[in-house]
Structure 1
Amino acid sequence: MLFQGFLNLNKPFDWTSHDCVARVRKLLRLKRVGHAGTLDPAATGVLPIALGKATRLLQYLPETKAYKATIRLGVRTTTDDLQGEIITSQPCPGLSLSEVKTVLSKFQGKIEQIPPNYSAIQVDGKRLYDLARKGEIVEVPVRTVEIFHIEVLEWREGDFPELDVAIACGGGTYIRAIARDLGAILETGGTLAALIRTESSGFQLTDSLTLTDLEAQLQAGTFQPILADAALQHLSSVTVPIIAAQKWCQGQRISLTFDVSGIVRVYDEETRFLGIGQLEDEVLIPQMVFEPIS
């Protein structure tokens, strides 16, 4: 069976996103498999996987993400999480939740963030984690990210107190950097102790499948990918008459009157999802034809 669509995968601990893609490719016997929103090996949770032609739709998925993170204060590491070497260890038993909450408010909204040295970002064509492993020191470019919501879930006192937070954010946000920067402002040091992604690109953790779930469904013959257009509901849609739809699927621009603009989902009169188009001055331009009309 040729699978087309999306898989909402619950990434296991200590697996890279690439490992997950390779495993799904093998299980489904499918060459074209890709993922959205890389997760660090130590993180778990939602990893959207595109199957077949849906890999071409990854660029159109929404960038919003949500996490549940545990931040350990009093500790700094080389990787800004517990996978790295400890740089400093400074007990801070007197730190209070009220002090932390006051500082945490600084991370709401649009903020400037320096990604961790151990990250997949490229500088001069080289991955930061490759440079860091070689001991090379480079200037990491500052980026602007947006935190829509950050909420304290639990506070555990001790020599190295831990804070559980829920974070909703835009694409490109590093939760490890938030842990590091929170500790820097508090002057205690901070590092990420655990991370679960609860939402990514519109996919929810509560609806996700583990690799074990996927294998079981494949053996039972019950696995069904998420429909390609179900992951694109944040985009407006247009319906095109059949003759015009055939021309559009052949790569032609068509002129019709629509009440929307920009990137849109395109359907024919039989509600069949045809692909992605761009509307400019009432001209529908093909961007990606998913299901051509024969």
Structure 2
Amino acid sequence: MRMCYLVWLLVWQGFLNLNKDPGMTSHDCVGAVRRLLKERRVGHGGTLDPMALGVLPLAVGPMTRLLPYLQQLKGYRATVRFGVATTTDDLEGEPLDTRPAAHLTLPLLQEVLPRFVGAIEQVPPQFSAIRQGGVHLYELARAGVAVEVPSRIVQIYSLEVLSWQTGEFPEAVLHVSCGSGTYIRSLARDLGLALGSCATLAQLVRTQSGGFHLDRSLTLAQVQEALAAGTFHLFDPAQALHHLPRVDLDADRARAFCMGQQVTEERALGSEPVQVWQGEHFLGIAQANGQRLQPVTVLGSPR
């Protein structure tokens, strides 16, 4: 049994581009993958609401230590329903307000969209995973405890209308490109307020996260099928960290790096994390400071 465990441990190291099923929490997905791969070290790269589906990057094995270095850009396809407000700012919550909004039009929506592009101030939903006093906001909300949620600055890079459906409660399908920490439920709520109405999030699909895209993702069912067929594989660090500068070390510097020693590089790299390799062998992450590289996460050993 011990030998079998070691085989699993050596095989499953990398990243999984999971297409999360609706109704599951991010923690549910982590647990399911742990069971499928028989690997306890599985972590996710950014929470996705239970009602949402789409890209949920997962790291497996020692690669969980690389989760903080994944690309922060996120993409969403969001359906916003106008004329409805809920306790959770999506259709999972209890109704707070219902007022027909047939007067709203696509030109009116497009007129307010520029206000929500760039660095904007946003108040997260009352039902969210943010902690206040060590307790999740959703736990306080479920207990009926009213708290004032502090606003935060988030970055929205682009906001585009993909489609508009007229009616008593019109709906807009938006493509949102944003930074980490942005709540699309809050965006939906605030768009309704900007139009003198109310709104809630009706559907959400994450199309991009951590450098992974929806068109190359797998559902849990597809992961299970690939495992049974012997065709399952994980993405390696080169694919997950492609946005970081890459440094290749010779044998002597690779040995020093893996011992936690600072090494130097011929070119100046500024001040940023870099991925460190010895040929095709991944060694880890270093913090660059000009030509000096300080190891911060060592995962490999020199060849």
8 Å CA contact retained: 1:4, 1:228: no
The SS at the match of 1:50 is strand
Pairing 1:147–2:156 present = yes
Pairing 1:96–2:105 present = yes
Separation (CA, whole Å) in 2 of partners of 1:93 and 1:281: 58
The SS at the match of 1:217 is helix
Pairing 1:264–2:274 present = yes
Separation (CA, whole Å) in 2 of partners of 1:255 and 1:213: 44
Separation (CA, whole Å) in 2 of partners of 1:83 and 1:271: 47
Pairing 1:206–2:231 present = no
Match of 2:40 in 1: 31
- The amino acid that maps onto 1:69 is A
Cα displacement (A) at 1:229:
2.6
Pairing 1:247–2:264 present = no
Correspondences of 1:198-237 after superposition (within 5 Å): 198-237=207-246
- The amino acid that maps onto 1:189 is C
| Cα offsets for 1:122-165 (capped at 9, x unmatched) | 11211110111111111211111111111101111111111101
Correspondences of 1:1-294 after superposition (within 5 Å): 1-2=8-9, 3-261=12-270, 262-268=272-278, 270-293=279-302
| Cα offsets for 1:64-117 (capped at 9, x unmatched) | 000000000000000000000000100111211111111122111111000000
Separation (CA, whole Å) in 2 of partners of 1:60 and 1:178: 26
Structure 1 ranges of 4+ moved more than 3 A: none
Separation (CA, whole Å) in 1 of partners of 2:88 and 2:47: 16
Cα displacement (A) at 1:266:
0.6
8 Å CA contact retained: 1:238, 1:258: no
- The amino acid that maps onto 1:125 is G
Give the RMSD, CA atoms, in angstroms. 1.1
TM-score scaled by length of structure 2: 0.94
The SS at the match of 2:246 is strand
Question: Which ranges of structure 2 fall in alignment gaps of 5 or more residues?
Answer: 1-7
Question: Which ranges of structure 1 fall in alignment gaps of 5 or more residues?
Answer: none
Cα displacement (A) at 1:257:
2.7
Separation (CA, whole Å) in 2 of partners of 1:154 and 1:254: 53
Cα displacement (A) at 1:281:
4.2
Separation (CA, whole Å) in 1 of partners of 2:129 and 2:96: 21
The SS at the match of 1:182 is helix
Report the number of matched residues. 293
Separation (CA, whole Å) in 1 of partners of 2:235 and 2:21: 20
Separation (CA, whole Å) in 2 of partners of 1:95 and 1:283: 57
The SS at the match of 1:188 is coil
